[in-house]
Amino acid sequence: LRIEAEKVVEKPVEMNADFLRKMFEKVEWKAFLEASRSMGYAQLPEEVDSGMLESDEFLSRFHHALLELHLEEGALVCPETGRRFPVNKGIPNMLLHEDEV
Protein backbone atom coordinates (compact mmCIF):
# COMPACT_ATOMS: atom_id res chain seq x y z
CA LEU A 1 0.00 0.00 0.00
CA ARG A 2 1.15 3.52 -0.77
CA ILE A 3 1.27 6.04 2.08
CA GLU A 4 -0.33 9.47 1.79
CA ALA A 5 0.82 11.29 4.91
CA GLU A 6 -1.00 14.33 6.25
CA LYS A 7 0.56 14.25 9.72
CA VAL A 8 3.66 12.33 10.80
CA VAL A 9 4.91 12.34 14.37
CA GLU A 10 8.34 11.40 15.64
CA LYS A 11 8.47 9.27 18.77
CA PRO A 12 11.97 8.68 20.17
CA VAL A 13 12.99 5.05 20.62
CA GLU A 14 16.27 3.78 22.05
CA MET A 15 18.53 2.49 19.28
CA ASN A 16 19.57 -1.18 19.25
CA ALA A 17 22.15 -1.85 16.51
CA ASP A 18 21.82 -5.65 16.72
CA PHE A 19 18.05 -5.43 16.24
CA LEU A 20 18.51 -3.10 13.26
CA ARG A 21 21.01 -5.44 11.60
CA LYS A 22 18.53 -8.33 11.90
CA MET A 23 15.62 -6.25 10.62
CA PHE A 24 17.66 -4.99 7.66
CA GLU A 25 17.73 -8.54 6.24
CA LYS A 26 13.92 -8.66 6.30
CA VAL A 27 13.20 -5.27 4.75
CA GLU A 28 12.38 -4.93 1.05
CA TRP A 29 14.50 -1.81 0.56
CA LYS A 30 12.72 -0.23 -2.40
CA ALA A 31 9.32 -0.35 -0.65
CA PHE A 32 10.84 0.86 2.64
CA LEU A 33 12.57 3.75 0.90
CA GLU A 34 9.34 4.78 -0.85
CA ALA A 35 7.40 4.60 2.43
CA SER A 36 9.93 6.67 4.34
CA ARG A 37 10.04 9.30 1.59
CA SER A 38 6.25 9.50 1.47
CA MET A 39 6.39 10.36 5.17
CA GLY A 40 8.80 13.20 4.48
CA TYR A 41 12.07 11.46 5.36
CA ALA A 42 14.65 11.57 2.56
CA GLN A 43 17.84 10.71 4.47
CA LEU A 44 18.18 7.12 3.24
CA PRO A 45 20.29 6.07 0.24
CA GLU A 46 18.79 4.65 -2.97
CA GLU A 47 21.06 1.61 -2.93
CA VAL A 48 22.24 -0.33 0.13
CA ASP A 49 24.43 -3.29 0.94
CA SER A 50 25.18 -5.22 4.11
CA GLY A 51 28.49 -3.37 4.52
CA MET A 52 26.52 -0.25 5.42
CA LEU A 53 25.42 -1.97 8.63
CA GLU A 54 28.82 -1.09 10.10
CA SER A 55 28.13 2.63 9.68
CA ASP A 56 26.69 4.32 12.78
CA GLU A 57 25.31 7.10 10.58
CA PHE A 58 23.43 4.65 8.35
CA LEU A 59 22.11 2.68 11.33
CA SER A 60 20.90 5.90 12.95
CA ARG A 61 19.01 6.93 9.81
CA PHE A 62 17.58 3.43 9.31
CA HIS A 63 16.51 3.37 12.98
CA HIS A 64 14.76 6.73 12.65
CA ALA A 65 12.80 5.72 9.54
CA LEU A 66 11.94 2.25 10.83
CA LEU A 67 11.00 2.95 14.43
CA GLU A 68 10.57 6.64 15.13
CA LEU A 69 8.32 7.87 12.31
CA HIS A 70 4.61 7.27 12.88
CA LEU A 71 1.79 8.01 10.46
CA GLU A 72 -0.73 9.89 12.60
CA GLU A 73 -3.15 11.14 9.92
CA GLY A 74 -3.45 10.31 6.23
CA ALA A 75 -4.30 7.26 4.14
CA LEU A 76 -3.00 3.96 2.84
CA VAL A 77 -3.81 3.59 -0.85
CA CYS A 78 -3.97 0.37 -2.87
CA PRO A 79 -1.90 0.95 -6.03
CA GLU A 80 -4.00 -1.52 -8.04
CA THR A 81 -7.52 -0.36 -7.17
CA GLY A 82 -6.97 3.14 -5.81
CA ARG A 83 -8.96 2.17 -2.70
CA ARG A 84 -8.09 4.51 0.18
CA PHE A 85 -7.92 3.33 3.76
CA PRO A 86 -7.99 6.34 6.10
CA VAL A 87 -5.57 6.60 9.03
CA ASN A 88 -6.83 8.56 12.03
CA LYS A 89 -4.88 8.97 15.28
CA GLY A 90 -2.36 6.43 13.98
CA ILE A 91 -4.95 3.70 13.37
CA PRO A 92 -5.76 2.56 9.81
CA ASN A 93 -9.38 1.69 9.02
CA MET A 94 -9.04 -1.37 6.78
CA LEU A 95 -12.72 -2.29 6.79
CA LEU A 96 -14.27 -2.85 3.38
CA HIS A 97 -17.52 -1.24 2.28
CA GLU A 98 -20.55 -3.52 1.85
CA ASP A 99 -20.25 -3.49 -1.93
CA GLU A 100 -16.60 -4.63 -1.68
CA VAL A 101 -17.28 -7.79 0.33
The correct answer on CATH 2.20.25.10 for the domain covering 2-100 is yes
Q: What percent of the chain has pLDDT over 90?
A: 91
pLDDT for 97 equals: 78
Angle between helix 17-26 and helix 56-63 axes, rounded to 10 deg: 70
Contact between 98 and 44 (Cβ < 8 Å): no
- Residue numbers in the chain where pLDDT is lower than 70: none
| Domain coordinates in residue numbering, the chain | 2-100
Whether the full predicted model's pTM is greater than 0.85, yes or no, is yes
